[in-house]
Amino acid sequence: MTRVAPLAPALAEAARATARVAAGRSLDEPTEQGEARSAVLDLCYGTLRRYGRVHALVRALSRRGDAAPQVQALLWCALYALESGRYADYTVVDQAVRACALLEHWPARGYVNGVLRSYLRDRDALQRRVLADDEARYQHPRWWIELLRRELPQHWQPVLEAGNAHPPMCLRVNRRRAEPAAYLAQLAAAGLPARSVGAYALLLDKPVPVARLPGFAEGQVSVQDAGAQRCASLLDLAPGQRVLDACAAPGGKCAQMLEAAEVEMTALDADPARAARIAPGLARLGLSAKVIAADCTALDSWWDGRVFDRVLADVPCSGSGVARRHPDIKWLRRAGDVRGFAQRQAAVLDALWRVVAPGGKLLYVTCSVFRDENDAVLQAFGARTPRARRGRLPSGAAEQLLPCMEHDGFFYGLLEKAA
């Protein structure tokens, strides 16, 4: 019989992590390895994807407003574990009580035991009760739900559902080292079913560690969402062009452009630690670029005055189109953050427009589904920039991709500079 690792340590670590998120900090990567790491990740991500519901359940079940934050977070994680169906009910209750000791909250054991047992007794009635609240039903902050209702009246519910789902795992075949059809055959031979969702994009039926991907170490393939793989085709790349990836880390879009054409690439990122990851990632694929750690808006710190034929501006944004990959985002963002990102995006556009060659193109990209970060930014930029023309995407492709089972949510806007 296979020995199952105790759940209590994973619940305790997940409670610590989710309590930090509730206090306003980004989700930390667990320090555990192997099976323990997988359990903690599942509890953290699952709890945060269902935070609206588990938070409402605890409020409905508990009359204590003074419970320590880690104890409240432990209850959230335990409720997710009960709903996940991965563990027997009695195991979750027992291990959650034991986790109180690991968190050094021994007096809370009776409280945790009582809340979880009350939930098990009245589970169906409680679920119906809390689902009357939009945050509990849709698992997003109320301001986020209301904004999508206004901006996407025909699509807001599917977008919210996608934001709560497990993200797909998509691969990008390195066209310099492999062909999509041949790599599909390699995946099949390795017992990894997949299907084509783009010229070089392959969607796996189930996510797997990259070590299981045939030829990964040899640079045949990379992990990249299908929606993120649009940039090379939209920029109309050609050999010899000078290309700037202005917010490049960790380097996926930069690599895709280099795979597509023999261009002279400069890759910028404001974070030195993230910028340091770009070159090793390119080297695995047999590619190279000039990598600079610099803020793209501080032109004097990195620009030599030579203009670029193509510029990719993958700007900082709310991340609302990739919330399922980073479920803490939903609960860390505030309504005012969207306008703040839009101001930063406008500053990036104004700076980068100066480095675009006459007749050149700039591709504006976000992983957001909010209009204020996307079309509104480009409309305002066009109104204040006489030489900027809004370009049509090839084949009439849509600028806004909404998240679905095949890809995340992205916005792509093309700007062309008059010669």
Residue 264: φ, ψ to 5°: -90, 100
Q: Residues near 216 by Cβ (< 8 Å), separated by ≥ 6? A: 210
d(CA 137, CA 125): 14
Nearest Cα to 202, choosing from 228, 175, 181, 231? 181
Q: Where are the alpha helices (DSSP H) in 6-68?
A: 8-22, 34-49, 51-61
d(CA 196, CA 375): 30
Q: Where are the alpha helices (DSSP H) in 299-359?
A: 328-332, 335-353
Q: How far is CA 102 from CA 7, 95, 294, in A?
A: 12, 10, 43
d(CA 218, CA 208): 17
Residue 396: φ, ψ to 5°: 65, 25
Q: Residues near 24 by Cβ (< 8 Å), separated by ≥ 6? A: 332
d(CA 30, CA 38): 9
d(CA 392, CA 7): 53
Nearest Cα to 28, choosing from 40, 10, 39, 46? 40
Q: Residues near 412 by Cβ (< 8 Å), separated by ≥ 6? A: 230, 231, 234, 363, 364, 365, 393, 397, 399, 401
d(CA 382, CA 44): 42
Nearest Cα to 409, choosing from 419, 398, 396? 398
Taking each helix axis from N to C end, the angle separating 89-102 and 109-121, rounded to the nearest 10 degrees, works out to 160
Q: Which of 247, 317, 367, 404 is catalytic?
A: 367
Taking each helix axis from N to C end, the angle separating 142-151 and 335-353, rounded to the nearest 10 degrees, works out to 60
The yes-or-no answer on residue 367 being catalytic is: yes
Report, as residue numbers or ranges, the catalytic residues: 367
